[in-house]
Structure 1
């Protein structure tokens, strides 16, 4: 079963998923704090490089299967043109109305 982005509980996470899925880099960056950080499979990554490679230049797309922690933790099928599709987990740290950090990796 897939959870539509507009059904996600946390407004910042909802905006993150919508921007990612639509390939809207400006909206994606607008939902992040200026000093946002991220990790992939437990290793901190350069946010700008990672998002360009894993989301925008490879047409990343997320289909959310479940949410927990008030919508700040997701399990999703993530796909892009580089890696194909994989089951992933996402954890978001939200400050105010923006995402300060996200951690992703294989589920």
Structure 2
């Protein structure tokens, strides 16, 4: 596993750190205004998705590997709803913030 502090891209590092800390303010701060996301190929509302998949279900990311300069991750993701699953994450950044992220089963 790659420790969040060792992730290459500082914006992605801040995202993973916020998720793992359960820090909703830090999570929102790393996203651009109007940031978008998709889960398994379907666009979702970021706030609703995060509440369900991260905050209310204790989401946690264990990063297995990174590529594309740190903008693509393979993660063992776990939460209280779904248990643990291997997921792929892709991030689009804009001036040090995330404008879009996509996740789905890896």
TM over 0.5: yes
Which residue does 1:14 correspond to in 2? 13
Structure 1 residue aligned with 2:31:
32
Distance between the aligned counterparts of 1:74 and 1:96, measured in 2?
Answer: 20
RMSD of aligned residue pairs (Cα, Å): 0.3
CA shift, 1:89, in A, is 0.2
Structure 2 gaps of 5+ residues are: none
- Alignment of 1:60 with 2:33, yes or no, is no
C-alpha displacement of 1:27? 0.3
What is the total number of aligned residue pairs between the two structures?
106
Q: How does 1:92-107 map to 2 (within 5 A)?
A: 92-107=91-106
CA deviation digits over 1:31-82, x for unaligned, max 9?
0001100000000001110000000010000000000000000000000000
Taking the aligned partners of 1:48 and 1:65, their CA distance within structure 2 comes to 26
The 2-side partners of 1:100 and 1:57 are apart by 23
Name stretches of at least 5 consecutive residues in structure 1 with no aligned partner: none
Match of 2:47, SS state, is: helix
SS of residue paired to 2:54: helix
